[in-house]
Structure 1
């Protein structure tokens, strides 16, 4: 009688729960709590079984003090501890019956020791299961077993209503989901037709698909193969390829069903973007397996920390399997070649339905087509741009050829002008000595010429002959310097003694024109390792040039300093200004300043050309600067010579 009253009271409580519960999830949880409290157990599972005999929906309740014991287990795993049963099972100590009830795959410590479980049947077919457990061994009394059987008799219709409600909800969800899938595909199709922006199409594809499938993260990745012959490889051989993340979407979705008994912490997800991140195919085991498995989709679920830790080192961090261990990779193909993947990830284990895989297949086709079209369009655009650039370059080349031809004509005219000037100069330089020599010879043939006059004419002959020899010698030396046929004879020279000797020679020559020369040297003696003959000739020509073009009664300044391992020597005079456009021309052969003929300044135009060639021969530089003097037609003309220390060759 007492058992019947308890059963009636328990049945009334269950009926009240059914009447007042707003949803099946809450209903199952409250039923589990009511059963657990009525029997005084540590926990209770109320399971709805579908037509295939699989757990369809689970309600659970447990005492809070047992959280740490149960946190490693899921409700479906707890059900799996027991075999398929058609009658009541009462287990006092589960540990002693481990071989009978535990599956070989279980390696966790048991979450409880004592179990009382009874199937619930409706119209001869099981549609539910009640499981009561205690964390410690416990002997279930006949009274408790009888009560749980009575409780089971009050639940078949309730569980059948829940099952039907779930079926209706599933059908509605299927219709809603199908509509979502169709809308996602339609939007992607319209975007592919209406825009050429590949990034926009890819972002729409990955965001629409991941949201429709309730996926926490979606990626689109591409493969760029290094070996163009990768198509002919055996399938198990992994080609060398670089993977790039070209689109990404993150959603704040959790597990769709509360299958964990203990929701002790939220799954953490890295907020940093992986867009445009790259890595090698050889660095990711999952990507390799997905490529081998293509054209079929590749699905991987890491069910526990042990599996994750085992494979983590072989999977690229971009995939973040620590926080998102459930992975589906759907291949993107073109003519049988996999060039990328649609990648879907969740923080919870997931079973993919056929309609979900069908959606991914449609999206993969759209995405593959969009990428191939974009690549083709870019190739066409590149080809057009290349052809346009070639035409532009052709026009530029023609324009440059025209300009070059015009410049060559100008150069020819200039060369003709230089040639005429050279002929005039060289004619003067050759004819004048020859005339003097011819006159001296004729005078020497005069009968009865005195010894003094004979000696004078011989001196003229010798002087003019020497001038001609020097001219020819300079021409030959220039030719050798320009053809790099002159060897270096390196030796250390004292700058001060060299300058003083050269200055002394030119001082005597310049005295008739009232020219003074000053030499400024640092207190520390200067030395230079270079070719002594070339150094002497350079300074001789610079001083000779300064003396030729300096105004009378002015000063010529020679200054030498050391900067690092270089010696810098400047020769400055006051004379005719040098136009900026002629600053480089004066170093050309036979090029002389304007007005030299009018002023009767002797020279061949070879001196500065020889200086430039000798300076280059010594790896140095020569520059000229002309600074006008206020209220004067003259200018400060400064030649700056920079010479390095030349190392002795090995």
Structure 2
């Protein structure tokens, strides 16, 4: 591009000089407008903020024929957010960090001036350009205003001292408006992104609170609610470790007294603990189950600071609390540097503590602490509900023997009865929900059976038709019986009432036998079956019936969802003290959202019902329970293969010996 500016020269003829100045002014206006159009095109077409600023810096640097051009956007704290830096040649290297720091300071100092100019930075005011890199000889800068505040700065520089002409300064001011528009759009994009992030975070927090609320309403299992609240909160806030402590006061009347910031005699008990799988610092301290409050200066600080939480962002802040000599190592403050402890309280009584920790320094945000307060309140409410329920139950048991003694006892018994009725209603509601879930699985076979019965009642029905409808009746009846048997077996496994019949099993022989059965079943679909086994037989001690049912259900599932004329593979091998078996088939992939729920009861993949693929959604749930029953593990993966279809792989891990003392 040709130079934007014309050099000034001596003109003895005033008229001629005026004409030349008019020509230069028109060229200056035209070229400034052309630069503005180029900048506007970059604003519209650039893919991201850094690219946008870099391209603008490049065209401005080339137009002004300078050695470098830098554009910086700043936030309300005058911190650089996005940078576009261009140099005229690769050999010119200017350290960016000192340059950015100086530009931010200069933009603030010269905020009320349209621009700042240094023809020779070595002769400029030292305290303003002290941090400028020595590679800079001259500099021209313009503070950029967006919505009434400084949104950035644009600067031109030369490696040697240089006199910036009035035309160059005017041209820089002219293009600054277009650059300010670009920066305003960048700031607006960042604001929109920030607001979207806030909305997403708020929605995530609300979902967490809803989950805890629903769990506390639908279950009386305090441990399960503790685990849900702790794990979900820790994962939402991306902390590395967390645990819940409950307090038991040695003086039962302490909670009834007027307290004056005194430390009570109490025992703290770890009732729930969570640690992220990637945390590679201290191991779990679950062995420290109980300790005295007098052993923990942190717990004492929380009680003294009640109702405010204790929030520590780093080890340096910890030293200010005088808690370095923590006697109990449950907090392990030297390994977990950031810490938040919130009191669990009800009507001024501390019930326990909700603790979250980061393995490195972390600045706790206001929205994070607000979420922790909401979760702590919900946990406190759940504790009170549980305590109240236990107290009521204890009171009813005590007063039942004295029912005839007083009307007061009768009134309390009536209240207890009313609560039990409410519980029965809740149980009845759970039963209705279960029946509703089973409705589809039961109605379809019954409808087919009803239709077959009506057809059989028709007079003069041919023998072949009668046999057909009887086959339908038998098939659907068997389907109902199998469904009921599966439900009963599943309930038996989930309640840990199923017995183990441990015996020696030759897995190699069993796989070869079951392979023959399924090869015949899959002929119509054109499925091939390959079994890859080691030369030595795979022998293990396990429950043979459970293992056979696991293999049968997995192969049945593979047959349903495999593409026609594809291959089902089984690979098995020894690994340490285990046998690892992989069952692979090719067909429609498993959606990512379905993978985590594929072993849930009545859970089927998306579109399976619409594709008329038969199934109750119990098979894989039964497989998971049976695998756990024999101390094994099962996992599933779904990946796109080279042929374009998906490769679905179930990995079954079985121990060589089975401990019959399992629960």
TM range, smaller chain? 0.3 to 0.5
TM-score normalized with structure 2 length: 0.40
Q: Which has the larger radius of gyration?
A: 1
* TM-score normalised over the length of structure 1: 0.41
Q: Which has the higher contact order (CA 8 A, sep 6+)?
A: 1
